[in-house]
Chains A and B, each alone.
Chain A
Amino acid sequence: MVTFNIMALTFWNCLTMFVVSLLMTVSPLAVAQAPATHAIQDLLKKERAIGCDNIQNTLQSVLCSGQIKIGVRTTYRAFGQKIGDELVGFEIDYAKYIAAELGVKAVFVPVTAADRIRNLVDGKVDLVLATMAHTPEREAIVHFTRPHYYASPTAVAGPKSRDISSIADLHNVSLCVPLGSYANIELTNAQARILMFDQPQKMFDALRFGACDLVAHDRSLILVEVTGASAPLSMRERFEEKFSFNEIPWGMAVRHEDTSTLGRVIALITAQAHGFGLLQSIADDHGVRTTFLDEQREVWSNADCYLADGFFLSTCLIQAKAMGDKPSVISLFFERLQNWFRDNFDIKRQLPMFSGDQGLRLFVDGIIVSVFLVLGSIVSTILFGLMFYRFSVSKWPLVRFCSHVICSVSFNAPVILLLMLTYLIVSSVFLYTATVSVIAAILAIGLNNGAAAGDSLVNAKKTLPTGCAMLDAVRVCVTQIRACVINAAKASPVAAFIGTPELLSTLTDIMSFSGERVAAFTLLALFYLIIVQLVIVLSDRAAQWLVLPPGKVPHA
């Protein structure tokens, strides 16, 4: 029954599979799994009997062509990675085993997290075996074979010196995450500062060179890249796993129309592979063994899970885990809009900031905070400017000196450092919340630009006769003050650096779990272009109203 593609496998894999196939025929377990074994034989026999002249499903096509196209990852260490010309990893070895069980050759097609489902639906692959979590949202598009072949929680890792032990500690911590992972929803709720990466290697590179404080990914990958025995020494010496959450089963997927044919054979093969400990053995080879595999071996070596007709007892199977965003109240309208764009212009963009409940909430919050931040930054810029001017004409020399020093330093300091300084001072006095972060950002941006406005006012005062009013100084340097106000509006997104939940932050959060970047960045760019243009136009009106009529000179 078991046919191996010997050339494609390593010596140890072959040996393992030989032992497994031996066990399949002689052990008491073989008796337990007999219905599954018979079901596989019957299914393959039935499909082969139809012949190759009238191919009706993918399983027949696979058997007739002698090859199965399997979508696999090529950049996911220990699971599917291309080294030189060779693909290696847990999933690659298991894919070879499945092909061998079907008696065909495995043809590997590289897929990514973003295109694996599309490749399957479009018929470019027959089976996807590519680190894919089983969720109801994906289940609606493709069929996941069960039992699942693997499961992994999301693990958070970081420097050993950082004291972080739960999701609650992630507030305002910079966190590198994979783009489009549903686990990011929980991380964004914790108000971590999210940096996204579409390939795991780039993410770990970013952790190595300090772009982020922590990294969150499937534990399977964190083990081999950062913390486990097979991780590079430079990584495991510096970093450790802080905590993990949300274990999700990984499934292989076939097209819905292949559920009862190819899907069923794959499910039966996987149940046997669990029962005989083959998946544990392959996982050991690649350093990714988890307790899930041990539990599944227990389950699938139990005869009670196999029904007489080759189906499984439903209580032995794990359900898909709901992780995606729930539909928003306006999701229907935006789904229609997305479909209209797709049908008429072939634009296949998603709008998760409108169609998802969490997405919409984050988006609206982001816009409100951004508008408030821009207005607050403008007001604080003007107030700081006037304050510096007022202090510069104080009768006390010490006040004048201090004002001059603070004004010069604030005016010439990088805004990021001013933000961090304000953040440190404010968070030492108040409990650091989103509101406090907005106030801190408004103060820092206002100080930076207000100092420039104050400097202009002080210089303007020097050109005026003694005893002139402050309004006269404002009228003389209204152009410079206007430039400071525009700069304050432009600088407001920098507040994201200290965890202020403005539009850049919230759209980054939405992108992190939806994977939709083009629509999010287009909206972000449009929003800021419009708001800055609005500030330019309104400040121009205000400047025209304030400026002195030609020929009129301010007097004491």
Chain B
Amino acid sequence: MLDHLFGFFQALTVNFRLGLVALLIGLVLGLLTAVIRCRADGVSARFIGFLIGVLRAFPVYVLMFVAASLFSTMSLSNEYGAEFSASIAVIVALLAYTVSACSDACVTFLNFRARGQLAQAWLLVPNVFQIFVVTVMASSIGAALGVQEAVTFTLSLAQTYETRIERIGLIISVIVFFAVILMSSKFLAARAIHSILRRGKPSL
């Protein structure tokens, strides 16, 4: 039992790592695209807006398979192994979400900042935290490529169980665990938003 728990938490760190990398790259690209959307001339801004729209509409799961297929033809998986290239495919897929979400959040940040509403502008921080939490959860799609993250670990463990009821019980437990983590994160983010807005009231 303890071994399984240890294994699960170890696998969960993979979700956090994937989420963090996707978020950091998404933040950099999101900020760049947001600056162009806010400050560039009409054509560039519209073009970037269109690209962000495409990314927003692209199913992450499909993008992951496209990326995985692309990497399998490159030397990437030869040099670093199949698991590494699968992880990179998951990160690339998550970027479709993080880049578009961070870009939107940064546009809001820049607009509020330009109007001098700093408290509202710094809602960027809890927003980015929310994006991070969603990205960590979404990284579970890596299970389809066999990335050894928490959902893959859970499904592999479930396969060792004899009865269907045991498997269902295990999956429900992990679903509840994820729900508690996500709800706690949202609660913390909501507290942060509340605190920022209260502090920023005079500037409203």
Contacts and interface: CB of A to CB of B under 8 A. Distances in A.
B61 interface: yes
Interface in B69-101: 69, 72-73, 77-78, 81-83, 86
Given A209-B146, A528-B62, 8 more contacts: A198-B72, A198-B73, A211-B86, A409-B179, A416-B151, A492-B59, A504-B62, A529-B57
Interface residues of A, number: 50
Given A490-B59, A528-B58, A211 B65 contact: no
B145 to A, nearest CB: 6
A421 B175 contact: yes
Contact of B83 (A209, A416, A508): A209
Interface in B98-146: 137-138, 140-141, 143-146
B18 to A, nearest CB: 13
B146 A420 contact: no
Contacts of B72: 196-199, 202
B204 interface: no
A243 interface: no
A416 B60 CA distance: 13
Interface in A346-404: none
A211 B145 contact: yes
A209 B141 CA distance: 16
Interface stretch (B21-29, B39-47, B165-173): B165-173
B146 A491 contact: no
B59 A532 contact: yes
B60 A490 contact: yes
Interface stretch (B1-9, B30-38, B152-160, B194-202): B152-160
A490 B55 CA distance: 11
Contacts of A497: 143-144
B62 A493 contact: yes
B148 A210 contact: yes
B58 A417 contact: no
Contact of B81 (A197, A205, A492, A533): A205
A414 B60 CA distance: 14
A497 B143 CA distance: 9
A210 B62 CA distance: 21
B182 interface: yes
Contacts of B175: 409, 413-414, 417-418, 421
A286 interface: no
A361 to B, nearest CB: 21
Contacts of A420: 155, 158, 171
Nearest to B175: A413
A190 interface: no
**Which one of B63, B144, B147 has the greatest number of beta carbons of chain A within 10 Å?**
B144
Nearest to B138: A414
B59 A412 contact: no
Contacts of B143: 416, 497
B178 A414 contact: yes
A231 interface: no
A151 to B, nearest CB: 28
B179 A491 contact: no
Contact of B140 (A205, A411, A417): A417
A43 interface: no
B155 A202 contact: no
A161 B156 CA distance: 12
A196 B77 CA distance: 13
Nearest to A536: B57
Nearest to A199: B78
A507 to B, nearest CB: 9
A202 B77 contact: yes
B183 to A, nearest CB: 6
Nearest to A495: B61
A524 interface: yes
Contacts of A533: 57
Interface in A180-235: 195-199, 201-202, 205-206, 209-212
14 contacts: A198-B72, A205-B82, A206-B82, A414-B140, A416-B140, A428-B164, A490-B57, A491-B61, A497-B143, A524-B62, A525-B62, A528-B62, A532-B59, A533-B57
A532 B63 CA distance: 14
Interface in A402-434: 408-409, 411-418, 420-421, 424-425, 428
A209 B146 CA distance: 8
Q: Which 10 A-B pairs have the closest CB atoms?
A: A211-B146, A412-B182, A414-B140, A412-B179, A413-B175, A205-B82, A532-B57, A409-B179, A490-B59, A493-B61
Main SS at interface, chain B = helix
Interface of B: 54, 57-63, 65-66, 69, 72-73, 77-78, 81-83, 86, 137-138, 140-141, 143-148, 151-152, 154-156, 158, 160, 164, 167-168, 171-172, 174-176, 178-179, 182-183, 186
Contacts of B78: 199, 201-202
Contacts of B179: 408-409, 411-413
Nearest to A522: B66
A262 to B, nearest CB: 32
B65 A416 contact: no
B151 A529 contact: no
A29 interface: no
A149 B83 CA distance: 36
A417 B146 contact: no
Contacts of A413: 175, 178-179
A482 to B, nearest CB: 13
Given A508-B65, A529-B54, A417 B164 contact: no
B107 to A, nearest CB: 17
A20 interface: no
B85 to A, nearest CB: 8
A525 B186 CA distance: 32
Contacts of A205: 77, 81-83
Nearest to A203: B82
A521 interface: yes
A141 interface: no
Nearest to A159: B159
Given A202-B72, A416-B141, A517-B69, A209 B82 contact: yes
A491 B174 contact: no
A496 interface: yes
Contacts of B182: 412
A524 B58 CA distance: 11
A67 to B, nearest CB: 29
Contacts of B155: 420
A408 to B, nearest CB: 6
A528 B86 contact: no
A412 B179 CA distance: 5
Contact of B66 (A161, A409, A491, A521): A521
B146 A424 contact: no
A197 B155 CA distance: 23
Contacts of A543: none
A494 interface: yes
